[in-house]
Structure 1
Amino acid sequence: MRGAAGAVWHGAGSAADGTGLVVAYTPDTTGRSLSGEQVAAHAAELAGVPVQAAPAIAPVATATRHSDASPWRAGAELRAPDGAFCSSGFGGWRGKTAVLLTAAHCGTSGTYKAGTGTTIGTASDSDTGLDVTVINTNGPPSGRFYDGAWDNASGYSKRAIGAGHNSVGGLLTELTSTYSQVRGMIC
């Protein structure tokens, strides 16, 4: 995000000691670059708390929704065994096996691939009532999900950092009890 003329902010988090925030920024290439102190002062003005700023290299996408690769993310383009377009759900672990969820209406058996044809893995089981298929993957889940428009080619994803309660009667409650052996599932 553009936080101030002369710098592009691409990361923010709490300071290790809990006293404020730390922002990472990439200096602008137009020659109007701000110093770290100027970026920190502007961020502190916006946040209302002390801020430290450090120049960093902006992340480069190694995968996108269309060309996802291990470690797998939620919200990526998925090709079902019959070649139909679908999307990946969140990943987790079943024992020592990495798994990724998708919708059962996309398929209940066979090999799933990323949009570019990279093999993700093979369906191990499904529940059409809950509309979920479990795919045993050839690599670990990332704990991340793609964010933004479906056609965004930037590869921007966010880390899922916690869990919350679902609405009473929501399918997630049934999914969790039905697939309780899928531990570490990020939902």
Structure 2
Amino acid sequence: MDDLRSSILLYIHHFTIYDYIAYGWLLVTFFLLLFLAVLLVRRSPKVSFLFIMLALVFLFAGPPTLKSMLTTAIRPIKINDIRVERLHFSQTLILNWKVQNLAATPLKDCKTIVTIDKSDDSIWSQLIHPSDIILQKTFYTSRIMKPNEVIENREIFNNFNNNDDINVSDISIKTECY
């Protein structure tokens, strides 16, 4: 729960004018739908109920949808060149990857979630047990990334006790930069 709170606070701290406009539009639409529902309650309670349900859908589905759309439109980034090194003399896994800023503006703070999971290639086993998460780590970086700049990242996982072979396909990296 603390991770969710810190993610939301990090996102709100880096609001741009586009974020304020989008979320303001969402609130205005929510209150407008509620106002229309109140006006229509005497004429048609079913339509009024429909407007209330639509307003609740806007209220709960709107913020995650807006965040996703704004992130891809205003702050796009690209992750590429993921490399995995495993030190055989110790239980250490080294993960290297590159992050490229595709936005028109510089980005400063980044939140990265690295997940290593060993999933089976069989369709049936993926349906029953979708993934076996071996390790998940979240970390924050604060450095300025100019437009089209590529930054190399490295994360070292000490005491990595898994004996299985870790491939690039077993690694998921999600990065949000603001």
Task: Give the TM-score normalised by structure 1.
Answer: 0.24
Please say which structure displays the higher CA radius of gyration.
2
Q: Between Structure 1 and Structure 2, which shows a larger proportion of helix residues?
A: 2
TM-score, reference length from structure 2: 0.25
Q: Which has the higher contact order (CA 8 A, sep 6+)?
A: 2
